[in-house]
Structure 1
Amino acid sequence: MSIDGGTSAAVSAGFGADVRTDLGASVDLSVVVPAYNEEGRLRPTLEAICAYLRADPERWGSWELIVVDDGSTDSTAKIAQEAAADEPRIQLITGGTNRGKGHALRRGVLASYGRRVLFTDADLATPIDELARLDERLAASAGDAAIGSRAHPESRIEVHQRRTREWLGRMGNRLIRAVAVSGIQDTQCGFKLFDGDKARAAFADARLDGWGIDVEILRFFRRAGWQVTEVPVRWSHVSGSKVRPADYGKVLLELLRLRARAVRRVDVAVAALFLLASVVLYKDLWADLGDAYLRDAGQDQNQWEWFFAVTADNVVHLRNPLFTTLQNNPDGVNLMANTVMLGLSVPLTPVTLLLGPAVTWALVLTLGLTATAVSWYRLIARRLVANRWAAALGGAFAAFAPPMISHGNAHPNFLVLFMIPLIVDRTLRLCEGRNVVRDGVLLGLFATYQIFLGEEPLLLAAVGMLLFALSYALARRDVARASWRPLLRGIGIALLVCAPLVAFPLGWQFFGPQSYKSVLHGDNAGNSPLAFLQLSGRALMGSDAGADPLAMNRTEQNAFYGWPLIALATAIVIRLWRLALVKALAFTAVAAALLSLGPKFRIPYTDIVLTGPWRGLAHQPLFESVIESRVAMICAPVLGVLLALAADRLAAPRERLMRAAGFAVLAAALIPVVPTPYPVRERIEIPAFIEHGAYRRYLAAGESLVAVPLPSPGSAEALHWQSSTGLDFKVAGGYFNGPWGPDRIGIYGATPRHTSNLLGEVRNTGRVPEIGPNWQAQARADLAAWKAGVVVLAPQYNDGPLYDAVSKLIGRPGERVAGVWVWDVGAPNPPRG
């Protein structure tokens, strides 16, 4: 039987729609052989297949052999026609030009009728009698596909390829597995047996025409949850094989194109909406990058721009990126012990150098927020809901929730969390146990990168995942029993990967110069229970006046989900309580909320103070530095998932009025917490003394500039002076985390000295105390400790009393230079120029 090209297309379309005839239902086995210019090998191959199938009719039952001529220019089609004349169960599909193995296989499989479908290469590198082994394995495992595997330990390679060719093939196969199909050792062996209906469904969905078809089909089976079993086979290299080592590269290119085509329009639309939302939130910052300063950032924008600038400077000059003396001279700053986000600040070095740290700051905030939303969206869409817009709602809330928006004022390390969903997804893959080694390695690499983005968010994510895992295990003990072994094994592998990569940086952080043990946050770092019901200052229906009394500051509004959303989440949990997932989510959110209350909390509107569960963690390693109110941020993705689950069910076919009412309730709860654009203020002008480089003639090598008052968490304009001049000078003091006292307790800013305390008090009060010889001697000692070269007083609040205080401390009046008061206190060294 021969089918020409036009008929073949019609047949393929028909079988792609899963149309079957009575004739088709009676075929037990279909064998598909793609052929291109195979006149020298095709006849013996067809004879061998037919002889094998005829030899055991009771086992193989009714069968068909389909030869697909892929536009051969030799006598391939003629040989197949002659074979079909002798054996009516042989069919030939011809027509068209050479399109590739994938195109030929797709035509052959879609034209098949068999209950099972085998495809084999025309060279029979795997002998046809290996079909028995595949058939037995498929029957024994009740699986959906049994594929020949040359990489299986029990396989027998009877004729090897050249060593170079074999090695290149193995490397190519490993790349393919890493990119597309994990856990399958040999994707490219051309001897595969499938359940017929599942094979036709997979090939109907396939798009690749080349060698990548094998991987595309296996990916389809994986996504559908169908079982694929690798079976050891005999294999021999056949001279004249059309597969070349370079073809593995072609497979990779095909898979990349396939992935690009597989991106759904809705995915692109969702990502674009997330980007638009991020740009709108930061529109005023982008409108004037030179002078705009986020109003509620405190001194953090100055600090972060300095972090980006100093990292770029260290990279360019090949200096240690974990330390600098540009701040807190001469003691310096342990950058690894501060949140410099080396995972972004290092790769963004070219942007910082070319466009300035203010552009890097705006990019990290805007694109980081977008990437976080996309990452949560992909996780929710892949694992939890079918409706993409429902997943978009969940991803949007997880990224744009009130606590996230609060940190978007000043803390990109808590805003840029796109790695956290990837870590969650990889951990879930470990629970599936398919490829524990690969997933464990990737989890270790993901965790390593997150450490260089932010360690505290990783710690909080681990707490949230642990809470969820424990509660889900209680709800689904069967899943827990099946998952705990591969999960623990994978985590062990992840630790083995991560530990050597972060050993030196973490060693430097905890034991290196200017390291510290913990950070003091005070006794009021926990949330008030009322904070969960209040709307944040940046929410559409919230206000700063309502939120400020319940938060440490405007960058730490770590709860503030609002009573409408809390009420909706409670209703969703009650409605979907039968689901183990919802039970675990509810437990995780409640536990995180309770932990965020701190070591003790007061019941609202009473004088009753209770001990909080955080007390057990407050003084433990790592946890002792955590601001406990931040634990409530774990609730953001939990609430996002609950919203996605609710929206997904509302989007399913149902009575129109009920659907409209459900979405109206969702909108009513979410509209109040919609974030509003970040307000900005105009930056404090850089003094001409700094901007035009007049400071250079006052500073010798190694000397520091002492700004009055010294830069600190409350006043860090000197960091902006530095970053705007290319870090051309060092400063005493600064805004960073560093050690204090013999116990090396972490504090914000440099170790206080008498002179810095005095100047800070004068600026705050406007009063100058009596300054005599003792104070002057102390000032000389402090200036020497700072290696001061020049003292600079810029125009500011209470600059008159500050001028009097500095003049008395130094013992002489200042010199007015380029708009500032200057006291030259450096050693008589030759200036830098």
Structure 2
Amino acid sequence: MPASVVASAGSSPAARVTIVLPTFNERQNIQPILQQLLALRDRFQLELIVVDDDSADGTADFVKQMAHGEPCLRLIRRVGRSGLSSAIKEGLLDSTGDLAVVMDCDGQHEPAAVAAALDLLIARNADLVIGSRFHPDASIKGLSDKREGGSVLANRLARFTLPRYRQLSDFMSGFFALRLDRCLPMIRQVDSQGFKFLYELLSISRGNLMIEEIPLTFQPRTYGSSKLDISVLWDFGVSIIHTLLLRMVPRRAVSFALVGLSGIGVQLLISNLLILLGFSFVASLPPAVIASACSNYLVNNTLTFRHLRLKGLQLLAGLVKFLVVASLPMLANIGLASVFYARVANDTLFAQIAGIAVVFVWNYAASSRFVWNTP
């Protein structure tokens, strides 16, 4: 281990520390945060990396101008790629520090907590120090009752899926410090489309990290609004299932399968509605299957492949590609369901599910490659 890392935290600049700050439209919040973090130069060899997802409010331009007078400040401006987890991963992989800290740039994480996390990381020779909102000594000022309740539930589910880290109080924290030499192999494996970078890192580590926690004083957001939306909640559900499956199934395949379940609902709803209107089971299947495929395409574009989301004419072209890719499986779905219904069991539900199950793998692999152009 580099001598600088094990030097006393109270000595002259010892450890080389990288602080990764992912940003998206945080122009009003970032200036005071950077100014407070720059004060840490008295104690550490400091590197600040702002990873900006092409903010429209001038965040990157401000950081660029500030960096002209601050050599330790670096900007990574990302165009054509986005997402909190991928921004954190990119910042950590680009860092030159021995130690690294990740924190939000919305004013809810106090820069003063950085020194406390680093001191504990060094003093305990830990691999990871988590800033916890739910530590007994923490103070939560920046969460509504609804958000706090949701976070408590999320942490309970995370604790269930990560039994080797049951002692932790906040699996969903966006504030943590780590030793890069020990964590880098695991950081490289983190699925950057995951729900929370920290949760994904803990899942990959399989209980092998020595972890400490510090209490956070979690502040109200100073400016702007939360980035929490339905896609974040969806990612959380996918992450939980992905972990329960021991990460043996590709994460996108889990999401694709969940969307497929919604498509089953669409297909069953439409086919049963048409049957009630007097159509035969065989006649009701084609429109039901096509409607299900269209629904799956739109939901996958919004959730599963949202970082590659198609818009405008590309959205329409993608739908055509998706229907072409799915045409043979759709025919197989209709044919198998019809045969199952006629020869095996006179049950429309199981007949349709049998057809859907057979074509799932093809739809996932082919549409990933030919519609959203990803392996």
> What's the TM-score once normalised by structure 2's chain length?
0.57
2:248 is matched with which residue: 250, 263, 274? 263
Q: Provide the residue aligned with 1:232 in structure 2.
A: 215
| Partners of 1:104 and 1:195 in 2: CA distance | 18
Question: Is residue 2:103 matched to residue 1:120?
Answer: yes
Amino acid of the residue matched to residue 172 of structure 1? A
Matched with 1:484 is none
Equivalence for 1:212: 196
Match of 1:36 in 2: 24
Q: In the alignment, which residue of structure 1 is the partner of 2:143? A: 161
Match of 2:158 in 1: 176
Q: Does the aligned pair in 2 maintain the 1:64–1:90 contact within 8 Å?
A: yes
How far the C-alpha of 1:233 sits from its partner, in A, is: 2.1
Q: Which has the higher contact order (CA 8 A, sep 6+)?
A: 2
For 1:150, the aligned partner's letter is R
Residue of structure 2 in register with 1:409 after alignment: none
| 8 A Cα contact 2:19 2:102, kept in partner | yes
Find the counterpart in structure 2 of residue 189 from structure 1: 173
Contact 1:34 1:105 in 2 (8 A): yes
- One-letter amino acid of the structure 1 residue matched with residue 146 of structure 2: T
Distance 1:221 1:67 in 2: 26
SS in 1 for 2:101: strand
Checking the alignment, whether the CA contact within 8 Å between 1:172 and 1:249 is kept in structure 2 is: no
Q: CA deviation at 1:146?
A: 0.6
3-state SS of paired residue (1:229) = strand
- Which shows bigger deviation, 69-78 or 187-196? 69-78
Tell me the SS of whatever aligns to 1:197. Answer: helix
**3-state SS of the aligned residue for 1:63?**
strand
- Distance in 1 (CA, whole Å) between partners of 2:242 and 2:212 is 27
Q: Distance in 1 between matches of 2:143 and 2:214?
A: 21
Aligned to 2:28, the other structure's residue is in SS state: coil
Instruction: Kindly provide the CA deviation profile for residues 508-530 of structure 1, in whole angstroms up to 9, marking residues without a partner as x.
Output: xxxxxxxxxxxxxxxxxxxxxxx
**Is 1:53 paired with 2:40?**
yes
Cα RMSD (Å) = 2.6
2:109 is paired with a residue of what secondary structure?
A: coil
Q: Does 1:67 align with 2:50?
A: yes
Q: Give 1:67 shift.
A: 0.6
What TM-score does the superposition give when structure 1 sets the normalisation length?
Answer: 0.27
Residues 49 and 75 in structure 2, CA contact (< 8 A), matched pair in contact too: yes
Deviations 1:434-470 (A, max 9, x none): xxxxxxxxxxxxxxxxxxxxxxxxxxxxxxxxxxxxx
Q: Deviations over 1:330-376 (max 9, x none)?
A: xxxxxxxxxxxxxxxxxxxxxxxx98xxxxxxxxxxxxxxxxxxxxx
1:198 aligned partner, one-letter code: R
Instruction: Tell me the distance in 2 between the aligned counterparts of 1:86 and 1:258.
Output: 45
| Structure 2 counterpart SS, 1:77 | helix
Q: 1:253 aligns with which of 232, 238, 247?
A: 238
Residue 402 of structure 1 is matched in structure 2 by none
1:232 to 1:107, Cα distance in 2 relative to 1, 3 A: same
Identity of aligned pairs, percent? 26
Deviations 1:615-650 (A, max 9, x none): xxxxxxxxxxxxxxxxxxxxxxxxxxxxxxxxxxxx
- Deviant stretches of 4+, over 6 Å: none
Q: Is the 8 A contact 2:157 2:240 kept in 1?
A: no
**SS of corresponding position for 1:114:** coil
In structure 2, how many angstroms separate the alpha carbons of the residues matched to 1:264 and 1:245?
Answer: 25
Structure 2: gaps (5+ residues): 1-13, 251-343, 346-375
Residue-pair matches, total: 235
2:81, 2:243 → 1: CA distance?
Answer: 20
1:28 Cα deviation (Å)?
A: 0.9
Displacement, 1:27?
6.5
- The letter of the residue matching 1:103 is S
Is contact 2:29–2:106 with CA below 8 Å preserved after alignment? yes
- The structure number with the bigger radius of gyration is 1
Within 5 A, what are the aligned runs for 1:175-574? 175-180=157-162, 182-183=165-166, 184-223=168-207, 225-239=208-222, 240-244=224-228, 247-257=232-242, 262-263=247-248
- Change in 2 beyond 3 A, CA 1:174/1:128: same
> Counterpart amino acid of 2:236?
V
Tell me, in whole angstroms, the C-alpha distance in 2 between the residues paired with 1:87 and 1:263.
Answer: 45
Name the CA shift for 1:243/1:146 in 2 (closer, same or farther; >3 Å). same
Give the structure 2 partner of residue 281 of structure 1.
none
**How far 1:80 moved relative to its partner?**
1.2
Distance in 2, matches of 1:171 and 1:204, equals 28
Contact 2:127–2:210 under 8 Å retained in 1: yes
Question: CA 1:231/1:245 → structure 2, altered by over 3 Å: closer, same or farther?
Answer: farther
